[in-house]
Amino acid sequence: MKLENTRFTRDRSQDENRAEGIKRVKSANDVWSLKRGSSDDIALVFLSMVRTAGFHAYAMDVTNRNRDFFQPNYLDADQLDDLVVIVVVDGKERLFDPGERFMSYGQLYWTHAMASGIREQDGKTVIGTTPGNAYKDTVTQRIAEITLAPDGTISGNASIIYTGERAVRWRQKALEGDEVALKKDFDDEIKSDLPAGVLLQTDHFLGLDAEDSNLMVRLKVSGSLGTATEKRIFLPLSIFAGGGQNPFTSSHREEPIDLRYPYLEKDQVNLHLPAGFQVESVPGDARVDLPQNAVYLSHAKADGQTITYSRSYIMANVLYDASEYDKLKDFFDDVSNKDRAQAVLHVAAAHQGH
């Protein structure tokens, strides 16, 4: 992973390589000497290293799942995109993705998971399919500590911690520009999921350049929260997802659905209320199931002047046939509705005017 992956920087010209004493990059030794190479070059260096270390290891060339399906009867190698490496560890085959920048040990980038292609196997070439990743491989944990002012404005801090695919995505995006641009891209992306009036602004990132640690984003919370009537205030509690929309709006679908990768989301929001604001009610516990595929849970409780809200969301299966579309759409509709559940506050007369 410390080798320069030219997919994210740039290829060197023949003149530049020649100036460094390399006439043509043709072996793992050349790539190792230069300390740089393409994604496939780096995968082949890894393959040669594990073989030298005494492991049984095989190359596999796959068709990226975001582009196409592998067609075994179509005799054209151009349909194959990227190399992954199969290593026998403790008697079991494990898949590695050394050509994918920042990918964690023993995990495949989502375009290479559940993807088919051609692999080596004990002196012969066979058709194979890579395994999928587990939802525990990609975890997003979001925590917010927010204070509500009597005038309805909010202030506070939030943290978002990523592992797996989402951490890789933002780390790779960071290679495209500076941190100022990355902060703007991050703020723009999360904006559509926020309840109306809520602003999250990125303060800084931690762990941007290390694939073996969590990626943390620290944010400032501001804006306003909720709507008011003469005596009550209605507050959305799902700060991180309360504005999200169901991605499936069509009433009919004829093609299969691919949600990229499985994941787990865990949210906690601690909302501190000012004096004179009393909690009248909080949303009841909610659960939404897509049996054997996904589950959503939320819980809210009030303790004095603090409301605590938690949310857990597991998407375990990402591939669905068109015949399953209605159930999938209903699940996302139900989740979106549950994310809009609101607490109700009663406001003392001296504090009205929110």
Domains of the chain: 4-129 (3.10.620), 135-351 (2.60.120.1130)
Question: In this predicted model, what pLDDT tens digit does every residue of 287-303 receive, in sequence order?
Answer: 999 999 999 999 999 99
Taking alpha carbons only, the member of 55, 39, 48 closest to residue 112 is 39
Percentage of residues of the chain with pLDDT beyond 90? 74
CA distances (Å), 293 to each of 72, 108, 296, in order? 29, 21, 11
Mean pLDDT of the chain: 92
CA distances (Å), 138 to each of 89, 123, 287, 290, in order? 23, 35, 21, 19
Q: Is the pLDDT of residue 352 over 60?
A: no
CA distance linking residue 190 with residue 342, whole number of Å: 20
- Lowest mean pLDDT across 30-34, 123-127, 178-182: 30-34
Single pTM value for the model: 0.90
Q: Is the pLDDT of residue 354 over 60?
A: no
What confidence tier does 214 reach under pLDDT thresholds 50, 70, 90? Answer: very high
- pLDDT of 261 reads 96
CA distance linking residue 54 with residue 52, whole number of Å: 5
- DSSP state for residue 242 in the 8-state scheme: T
Buried b (16+ CB within 10 A) or exposed e, 63-96: bbbeeeebeeeeeeeebbbbbbbbbeeeeeebbb
At position 293, the amino acid (one-letter code) is N
Q: Is the pLDDT of residue 81 over 90?
A: yes
Question: In this predicted model, what pLDDT tens digit does every residue of 4-15 receive, in sequence order?
Answer: 898 888 777 777
Question: In this predicted model, what pLDDT tens digit does every residue of 250-271 receive, in sequence order?
Answer: 989 999 999 999 999 999 999 9
- Bigger pLDDT: 302 or 18? 302
CA distance linking residue 71 with residue 58, whole number of Å: 21
Give every strand in the sheet of 57-62, ordered side by side.
92-96, 82-89, 57-62, 116-121, 124-129
Percentage of residues of the chain with pLDDT beyond 70? 97
